[in-house]
């Protein structure tokens, strides 16, 4: 187009190039730009690049200015602008505005869009008998549908996704090429003529009939169906059928951990749970996470869905397949991850037939391949906000901003549990989806493949690997095995606080509470109840929970009654046996003798300051949870049992010892035990324990402020998934004039560790 003769013009013209970065691919940004330019009567072009989108516009100065203002003000629902670079250019006098082919040169920015839940327009089409996509389970447009889970390469174009296997029919092609259509350059667009198809398998054969109707009929009769969704398989059954839910638990070996429930619509959600505006907004958001909300007392879901819980995890249908299934099936379905215990999510049809055959009675499959397995995200609603619990489908791979730019490309390999990894360069951090716990060969292999895939998509080769100090973490071993990479070790709880600081755009210094179950301490002990002063580069330990023994190491983590014995020993000394008996805590004779030796001599019983283990001990002593069947269960059960609104009546002293502030966990525990033995019901004791715990933390932070002069506090670690603790402590600190930083973008549990690692590494590298 360059070199066109310049026509005679009575008004001046200008030409501008815009290089746009952010979430601008796969979200309808180019057709939006096209329509905007046409409305402003501008010429030029727009195209995807490996860095985002670039475009040139030419026209009258007022029209170009109007275009640039509207570019930010009228973005498509899923788009986000992070940066717009503007360059003045000479006029070219091109005759129209066009969309050009993608350009793949240069370094890639993280512009891969997340998967987006079914939009209203597509939902209407799927349910409209007059529409050509009526009852088509793979309907999508630029506002919804698969993105991250189908991408193989960037730029994000159809031939670089798993949709490359499906050639568009003439009708879909016309929509794809029509700037006025909602599917203009919607890469996964398809229809019944040319797109993926679904079917039901049972007993090794494909069943006749409409796949959704067949699957729904099976669910109505109490069967368990493996359903292939966006990021992998779910195991589904009727959430009101007690026998079906019990059978699913038995087959999966998942005795107590709550199941998520997909409900037909908001009306059904309100029948089983209390929803505020925040919960409704999250349920309807493009991310469509599982939302933890208070269950109704009169809810008629099977009690086995979430045994002992006051909360229920709800999600709405987020694909047309789910929408159609819930129209025909029971209106509330258990939807739990399709995997064997401790293994990654199953996402492939062949793997499902092999691994899920013992769990499911039938399979609802489809032939659109899933390139990137991705679990459902989980968030918890609390008054005035929410707590991320698991960050995956719908949120990943949205980049996070680093407050200190990384001078080199960094890989944070994360922790052992709730594994994630993080790639960082410049001021961007790309946090992976939830991968699971790295304690099985299958999950570790999944971790390594996911690192390779995301690094390839972003075209980054990390020169620095930041890792946990624990010598036995598989993630740390992975970092050590990388070639040509500089290693930076980051203490576990420093990484927690650095993640909280980073996602709040703060570099520090700040006071910080890092409270969780386990973290490797540089002094050789097991940390987990830490009061630190930290910035992104370094930290100082101001205080911690008082030491107790961890009798038998991992054995005490697996069996909370052992931690109750350890805290009884710490609180009562040799008289702990009497309290064990009074609380109904019993051990076989051999185990009892072993416990006494471990507690008296410290044999195979390292010292721990863990807040998580204190919660375990309280849950076991009160009879709330004495057998742990999943990670975090005792602490969750303690919160679920706790009566809200209790006063902090138990002492939780803060004393100075060895230059550190020591929080007397055994004294708090002893007071709770005495109250329980005096006849106070466990719910009230649990409520008082949590209220007193929060009050003691606030007191410790007041002492820390006197020492340091700092009034900013970061809260991180799995304990801060506890809404009672977060709300009580935050209110106390705010009333005392503290600025309180909490997690709102990443989970406070170990899923945030990899972000903290890259933030620390970036700060240290910049300081060199």
Confidence bin at 575 (pLDDT 50/70/90): confident
Bridging pattern class, strands 385-390 and 362-366: unpaired
- pLDDT at residue 381 is higher than 50: yes
pLDDT tens-place string over residues 102-113: 775 454 454 678
- pLDDT at residue 710 is higher than 60: yes
Q: How far apart are the first and last CA of the chain?
A: 49
Share of the chain above pLDDT 90, in %: 83
Confidence bin at 1 (pLDDT 50/70/90): very low
pLDDT tens-place string over residues 525-559: 999 999 999 999 999 999 999 999 999 988 889 99
Rounded distance between C-alpha atoms, residue 156 and residue 761, angstroms: 30
- The per-residue pLDDT for 245 is 98
- The per-residue pLDDT for 371 is 96
What integer is the mean pLDDT of 165-193?
93
What integer is the mean pLDDT of 317-329?
98
Question: Any idea which residue has 């026209």 for tokens?
Answer: 59
What integer is the mean pLDDT of 747-757?
98
pLDDT tens-place string over residues 619-647: 999 999 998 999 999 999 999 999 999 99
DSSP classification of residue 549: E
CATH (one of 3.20.20.10, 3.40.50.300, 3.30.70.100, 3.30.420.40) for 14-99: 3.30.70.100
- The per-residue pLDDT for 652 is 96
- The per-residue pLDDT for 621 is 97
- pLDDT at residue 763 is higher than 80: yes
Confidence bin at 155 (pLDDT 50/70/90): confident
Rg (CA), the chain: 28
Q: Specify the higher pLDDT residue, 116 or 49.
A: 116
- The per-residue pLDDT for 656 is 85
Q: For residue 142, what are its two tokens?
A: 């630029």
Confidence bin at 591 (pLDDT 50/70/90): confident
- The per-residue pLDDT for 594 is 87
Q: Which of 81-85, 103-107, 334-338, 698-702 has the lowest mean pLDDT?
A: 103-107
Share of the chain above pLDDT 70, in %: 98
- pLDDT at residue 753 is higher than 80: yes
Q: Specify the higher pLDDT residue, 200 or 340.
A: 200
* 198-378 topology per CATH: DHBP synthase (3.90.870)
Q: For residue 687, what are its two tokens?
A: 């409520």
- The per-residue pLDDT for 6 is 52
Domain ranges of the chain: 14-99, 198-378, 396-491+750-758, 543-710
What integer is the mean pLDDT of 718-725?
97
Selection from 454, 609, 537, 433 nearest residue 757 by Cα: 537
Rounded distance between C-alpha atoms, residue 735 and residue 746, angstroms: 26
Rounded distance between C-alpha atoms, residue 138 and residue 505, angstroms: 39
- The per-residue pLDDT for 108 is 45
pLDDT tens-place string over residues 58-76: 999 999 999 999 999 999 8
- pLDDT at residue 34 is higher than 60: yes
Angle at 521 between CA 516 and CA 527, to 5 degrees: 30
Angle at 288 between CA 285 and CA 289, to 5 degrees: 120
- pLDDT at residue 7 is higher than 60: no
Rounded distance between C-alpha atoms, residue 767 and residue 143, angstroms: 43
Q: Specify the higher pLDDT residue, 161 or 48.
A: 161
> Which numeric CATH code is attached to 396-491+750-758?
3.30.420.360
> Which numeric CATH code is attached to 543-710?
3.30.420.40
Rounded distance between C-alpha atoms, residue 335 and residue 185, angstroms: 32
Q: How many CA atoms lie within 13 A of 423 on its CB side?
A: 24
pLDDT tens-place string over residues 432-479: 999 999 988 999 999 999 999 999 988 889 999 999 999 999 999 999
Q: Which residues pair with 206 in a beta bridge?
A: 201
pLDDT tens-place string over residues 640-697: 999 999 999 999 999 987 789 999 999 999 999 999 999 999 999 999 999 999 999 9
Rounded distance between C-alpha atoms, residue 275 and residue 111, angstroms: 33
- The per-residue pLDDT for 110 is 47
8 A C-beta contact, residue 362 and residue 211: no
Please write down the long-range contacts of 248-253, taking CB distance under 8 Å and 24 or more positions apart.
248/224, 248/334, 248/336, 248/359, 249/304, 251/224, 251/358, 251/359, 252/336, 252/340, 252/341, 252/359, 253/341
Angle at 488 between CA 486 and CA 491, to 5 degrees: 165
Distances (CA, A) of 564 to 561, 614, 627, 630, 631: 5, 8, 12, 18, 17
Phi, psi of 323 (to 5 degrees): -60, -50
Q: Is 678 exposed, middle or buried (0-12, 13-18, 19+ CB in 10 A)?
A: exposed
DSSP helix/strand/coil, 638: helix
Domains 14-99 and 396-491+750-758 share a fold: no
Rounded to the nearest integer, the mean pLDDT of the chain is 93
17 membership: H or E segment, kind and range? strand 14-23
- The per-residue pLDDT for 179 is 78
Q: Specify the higher pLDDT residue, 206 or 604.
A: 206
């Amino acid at each position: 187009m360059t070199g066109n003769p310049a026509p005679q013009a009575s008004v001046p013209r200008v030409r501008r190039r815009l290089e746009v970065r952010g979430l601008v691919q796969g979200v309808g940004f180019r057709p939006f730009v096209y329509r905007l330019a046409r409305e402003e009567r501008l010429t030029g072009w727009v195209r995807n690049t490996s860095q985002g989108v670039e475009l040139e516009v030419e026209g009258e100065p007022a029209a170009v200015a109007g275009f640039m203002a509207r570019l930010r003000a009228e973005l498509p629902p899923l788009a986000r602008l992070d940066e717009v670079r503007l360059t003045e250019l000479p006029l070219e006098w091109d005759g129209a505005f066009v969309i050009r082919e993608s350009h793949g040169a240069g370094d890639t920015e993280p512009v891969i869009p997340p998967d987006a839940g079914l939009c209203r327009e597509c939902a209407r089409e799927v349910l409209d008998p007059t529409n050509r996509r009526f009852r088509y389970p793979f309907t999508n447009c630029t506002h919804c549908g698969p993105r991250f889970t189908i991408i193989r390469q960037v730029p994000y174009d159809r031939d670089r996704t798993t949709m490359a296997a499906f050639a568009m029919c003439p009708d879909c092609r016309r929509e794809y090429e029509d700037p006025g259509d909602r599917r203009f350059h919607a890469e996964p667009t398809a229809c019944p003529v040319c797109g993926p198809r679904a079917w039901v398998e049972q007993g090794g054969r494909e069943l006749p009939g409409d796949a959704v109707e067949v699957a729904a009929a099976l669910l109505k009769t109490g069967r368990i169906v493996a359903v292939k969704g966006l990021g992998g398989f779910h195991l589904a059954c009727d959430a009101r059928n007690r026998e079906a839910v019990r059978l699913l638990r038995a087959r999966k070996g998942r005795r107590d951990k709550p199941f998520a429930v997909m409900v037909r619509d908001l009306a059904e959600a309100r029948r089983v749970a209390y929803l505020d505006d925040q919960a409704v907004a999250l349920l309807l958001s493009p991310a469509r996470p599982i939302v933890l909300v208070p269950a109704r007392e009169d809810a008629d879901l099977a009690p086995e869905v979430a045994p002992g819980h006051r909360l229920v995890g709800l999600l709405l249908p987020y694909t047309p397949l789910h929408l159609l299934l819930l129209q025909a099936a029971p209106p509330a379905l258990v939807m739990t991850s399709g995997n064997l215990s401790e293994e990654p999510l199953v996402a492939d049809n062949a793997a499902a037939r092999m691994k899920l055959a013992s769990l499911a009675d039938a399979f609802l499959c489809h032939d659109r391949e899933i390139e990137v397995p991705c679990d459902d995200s989980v968030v918890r609603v609390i008054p005035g906000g929410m707590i991320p619990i698991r960050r995956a489908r719908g949120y990943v791979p949205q980049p996070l901003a680093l407050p200190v730019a990384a001078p080199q490309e960094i890989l944070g390999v994360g922790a052992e549990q709730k594994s994630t990894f993080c790639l960082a360069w410049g001021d961007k951090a790309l946090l992976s989806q939830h991968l699971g716990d790295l304690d099985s060969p299958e999950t570790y292999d999944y971790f390594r493949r996911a690192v390779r895939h995301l690094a390839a998509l972003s075209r980054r080769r990390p020169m620095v690997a930041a890792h946990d100090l624990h010598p036995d973490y598989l993630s740390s071993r992975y970092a050590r095995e990388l070639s040509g990479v500089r290693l930076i070790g980051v203490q576990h709880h420093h990484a927690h606080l650095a993640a909280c600081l980073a996602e709040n755009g703060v570099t520090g210094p700040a006071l910080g509470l890092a409270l969780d179950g386990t973290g490797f301490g540089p002094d050789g002990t097991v940390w987990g109840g830490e009061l630190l002063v930290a910035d992104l580069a370094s930290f100082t330990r101001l205080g911690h929970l008082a030491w107790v023994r961890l009798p038998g190491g991992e054995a005490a983590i697996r069996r909370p009654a052992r931690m109750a014995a350890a805290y009884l020993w710490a609180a009562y000394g040799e008289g702990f046996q009497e309290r064990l008996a009074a609380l109904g805590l019993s051990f076989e004779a051999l185990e009892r003798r072993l416990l006494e030796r471990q507690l008296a001599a410290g044999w195979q019983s390292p010292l721990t300051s863990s807040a998580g283990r204190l919660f375990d001990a309280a849950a076991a002593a009160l009879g709330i949870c004495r057998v742990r069947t999943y990670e975090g269960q005792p602490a969750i059960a303690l919160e679920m049992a706790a009566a809200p609104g209790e006063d902090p009546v138990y002492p939780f002293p803060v004393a100075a010892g060895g230059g550190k502030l020591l929080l007397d966990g055994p004294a708090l525990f002893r007071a709770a035990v005495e109250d329980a033995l005096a006849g106070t019901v466990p719910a009230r004791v649990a409520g008082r324990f949590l209220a007193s715990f929060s009050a003691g933390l606030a007191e410790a932070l007041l002492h820390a402020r006197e020492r340091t002069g700092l009034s900013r506090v970061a809260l991180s670690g799995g304990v801060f998934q506890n809404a009672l603790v977060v709300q009580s402590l935050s209110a106390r600190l705010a009333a005392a004039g503290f600025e309180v930083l909490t997690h709102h973008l990443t989970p406070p549990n170990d899923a945030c560790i990899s972000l903290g690692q890259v933030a620390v590494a970036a700060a240290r590298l910049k300081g060199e």
